Amino acid sequence: MENLSTHKRFVMSAIVVVSFVVVAALFMGGARSPDRPAGGQTVASTTKALDRKPAASISLPEMQLPDIVGRAPVMPDEIIERVLKKDKKLGLFMDYYRTVLPDEQTRDEYHKLLSDPAMMTTMAEDLMDPGSGHPEAEEYLHRLMQVDYFEAALTWKDNPQRQKALELTRDIISKDNFQSDQDSARRQVLGGSKMELYRLLYDQDVQKAGALVAQAKGSRMEPLINWMAEEELRRRALEKENLEEHERQARNN
């Protein structure tokens, strides 16, 4: 179970939007592969972001950031609470998720949520729904907290419904929910959720991540999924390189 300042959660979620301008550009330009970036910054979902080392920053095309970034200073705690008040199931999950020292009964109830097939399916359907119009901050944070649900469900290794959670994660990533009338901000939000879930899938089951890439071959989603796979490998290689450099410096000091 996790606990992190909701202000930090909002700030980090705003950074995710910046990271996926490249993803938006892919579908705005049609079904072609994006130029592989020389570097990339992919930031984790709401609560794990500060625990992960970001990769080198990416050179982004000149595009205006969505309004949700411009509104970041506007009481993120209140925005999150509005989201959770509207979505009772997600609110219940987040109550447990943010509990620092749960007792045995609380942990058992939390695990029931993480292994509830109906809960998983509802979260997945919401994430696959493209939505409409320009995304507001509430929708963006709503999606990020749904990603947190799948992360919690998959990192609980004894989850009796773990395979279902993996399959739904795969389905969300592969779902082509990009449409011609979407603005760049909505495409970024959809792409950002997919990238975070791909990173999670790769971390939890490399074979399923590889199967996803193969499954996408020949589809409109192939360029995007290939880009995500390459970016994840690049990110991991860079983190390994940085760690080795840090260890060398430590030995020389």
State the pTM of this model: 0.76
Residue at 47: amino acid letter: T
The string of pLDDT tens digits covering residues 139-175 is 999 999 999 999 999 999 999 999 999 999 999 999 9
pLDDT at 19: 46
Distance CA 209, CA 69 (A): 31
Asked if the structure places residue 1 within a domain, the reply is: no
Asked if the structure places residue 98 within a domain, the reply is: yes
How many domains are there within the chain? Answer: 1
Residue at 102: amino acid letter: P
pLDDT at 2: 59
Asked if the structure places residue 28 within a domain, the reply is: yes
Confidence of residue 57 (pLDDT cuts 50, 70, 90): very low
Asked if the structure places residue 49 within a domain, the reply is: yes
Asked if the structure places residue 192 within a domain, the reply is: yes
Range of the domain at 156: 6-252
Asked if the structure places residue 45 within a domain, the reply is: yes
- Mean pLDDT, the chain, as a whole number? 79
Distance CA 233, CA 4 (A): 28
Asked if the structure places residue 234 within a domain, the reply is: yes
Distance CA 34, CA 46 (A): 26
Report residue 187 as tokens: 């495409």
Dmax of the chain from CA atoms? Answer: 56
